[in-house]
Chains A and B, each alone.
Chain A
Amino acid sequence: QSVLTQPPSASGTPGQRVTISCSGSNSNVGSNYVYWFQQLPGTAPKLLIYSNNQRPSGVPDRFSGSKSGTSASLAISGLRSEDEADYYCAAWDDSLSGVLFGGGTKLTVL
């Protein structure tokens, strides 16, 4: 069981906006940066968001991140079929002195 809690699934239709939540605690999300990764089927993960809300070069601005207190969110606007993937949040945990990943959210584009 992951300490960072994500919904196991999410869905939307093309063009819609969807959000994926990541709930943690004061020792991780509440006091450290949150990162988001996308994993397409059969491929290695890809960095989508770092430092809560920063996009690496090449990541479309349809993807955005936010954080408030001990929760973070990934928003995907203008949903496309190619966004169908697993999404993971991650954060350093001060108590564990380690990185925690959320359990992952499988996004389905209907």
Chain B
Amino acid sequence: EVQLVESGGGLAQPGGSLRLSCAASGFTFSSYEMNWVRQAPGKGLEWVSYISSGGTTIYYADSVKGRFTISRDNAKNSLYLQMNSLRAEDTALYYCARAGIPAARWAFDIWGQGTMVTVSS
């Protein structure tokens, strides 16, 4: 079964750090581009970051640039999001999402269940 499972969420203080992980299974992880998308409680979707299949191309939303770092380990079938200098506005459910359709880079066809990040003192 094709699956993405996020972990690593929790409560962090403003200015603190968290590292999210996304474990992939059921497909050849190294062949796919990956993304993080977040959703604040009761709000809409916000794209956070993208990483190419080989990890050489990376994009970030302006709201997280300079604070968050996306990475992947293809040998471990895992995607990561290092979150530093956390702010209250980073509180959200964080999804990892696969871009699974060739020539449709933002066709997020597989999503995880999400991991909740709460930033509060």
Chain B interface mostly: strand
B44 on the A face (CB < 8 A): yes
Residues of A contacting B: mostly: strand
Q: What class of interface size applies to chain A in its complex with B?
A: 20 to 34
Stretch at the interface among A16-24, A47-55, A66-74, A77-85: A47-55
CB-based nearest B residue for A49: B107
The complex places the Cα of A33 from the Cα of B102 at a distance, in Å, of 13
User: What is the total number of residues of chain B having a CB less than 8 Å from a CB of chain A?
Assistant: 25
From residue 43 to 86 of chain B, which have CB atoms closer than 8 A to chain A?
44-47, 50, 59-62
Interface residues of B in 71-120 (CB under 8 A from A): 95, 97, 101, 103-109, 111-114
Give chain A nearest CB distance to B22 CB in angstroms. 12
Query: Given known contacts A44-B95, A44-B114, A50-B101, is B47 in contact with A101 (CB within 8 Å)?
Result: yes
* Residues from chain B with Cβ under 8 Å of A51 in the complex: 101, 103-104, 107
Which chain A residue has the least Cβ–Cβ distance from B98?
A: A47
Q: Give the B-binding residues of A (Cβ under 8 A).
A: 2, 33, 35, 37, 39, 44-47, 50-51, 54, 56, 86, 88, 90-92, 96-104
> Can you list 8 residue pairs at the A/B interface with Cβ under 8 Å?
A37-B108, A44-B112, A44-B114, A47-B107, A91-B106, A98-B60, A100-B47, A104-B45
